[in-house]
Amino acid sequence: MNCPAVRDRLPEHTLGVADLHDVDAIERHLAWCAACRKEARDLERAAATLAFAPAPAAPPRELEERIVAAVRRDHPSPPITKLGRRRGRRVGVVLVAAALMIAGLGAGAVLGRRDAPPADKPSTQAQQQDAAFERFRRIIQSAGPDTKAAVGLLTPSGKVPWRGAALVIVSPSGDDQVVVTVDGLPRARGPYRIAITDGHGHAVPVGVIRRLDKEGGAMKGRVIARDLTEYVRVVVTDAGGRTVLTGVLDPAPPTG
Amino acid sequence: MGLRLLGSREAAEELTQDVFLTAWRKAARFDPQRGRLSTWLMTIAHNLAVDRLRRDTGVSRPHLVLVDQVPDRPAGDEEYVLIERDEALRALASLSDAEKRLIARAYFRGMTAREIAEADAIPLGTVKTRLRSALIKIRKSNELKEPS
Q: Do A49 and B61 touch (CB under 8 A)?
A: no
Q: Listing from the earlier edge strand, what are the strands of the sheet with A218-224?
A: A218-224, A176-183, A163-170, A148-154, A250-251
The CB-side HSE value for A79 (13 A sphere, CA atoms) comes to 2
Nearest to B135 among A18, A46, A225 (CB): A46
- pLDDT at B114 exceeding the cut of 80: yes
Domains defined for chain A, CATH in brackets: 1-49 (no CATH), 93-251 (2.60.40)
Domains defined for chain B, CATH in brackets: 1-75 (no CATH), 77-148 (1.10.10.10)
Q: Is A31 on the interface with B (CB under 8 A)?
A: no
Q: For residue range B32-89, list pLDDT tens digits in order.
A: 665 667 677 777 888 888 778 777 655 543 433 333 333 334 334 445 556 777 888 8
Q: For residue range A131-157, list pLDDT tens digits in order.
A: 555 656 555 655 556 667 777 788 888
Handedness of CA A230, A234, A237, A242 (dihedral sign): negative
Average pLDDT across chain A, whole number: 71
Distance CA A176, CA A249 (A): 14
Q: 0.80 cut: is pTM over it?
A: no
Q: For residue range B96-113, list pLDDT tens digits in order.
A: 888 888 988 888 888 888
Residues of B whose CB is below 8 A from A226: 143
For chain A, helix, strand, coil in percent to 5 are: 40, 25, 35
pLDDT at B133: 92
Residues of A whose CB is below 8 A from B70: 41, 44-45, 86, 90
Q: Which residues are bridge partners to A179 per DSSP?
A: A167, A221
Q: Is B81 on the interface with A (CB under 8 A)?
A: yes
Q: For residue range A69-88, list pLDDT tens digits in order.
A: 777 776 554 443 333 333 33
Q: Do B131 and A12 touch (CB under 8 A)?
A: yes
**pLDDT tier for residue A216 given thresholds of 50, 70 and 90:** confident
Q: Is B112 on the interface with A (CB under 8 A)?
A: yes
Nearest to B131 among A11, A78, A94 (CB): A11
- pLDDT at B123 exceeding the cut of 90: yes
**pLDDT tier for residue A37 given thresholds of 50, 70 and 90:** confident
**pLDDT tier for residue B145 given thresholds of 50, 70 and 90:** low
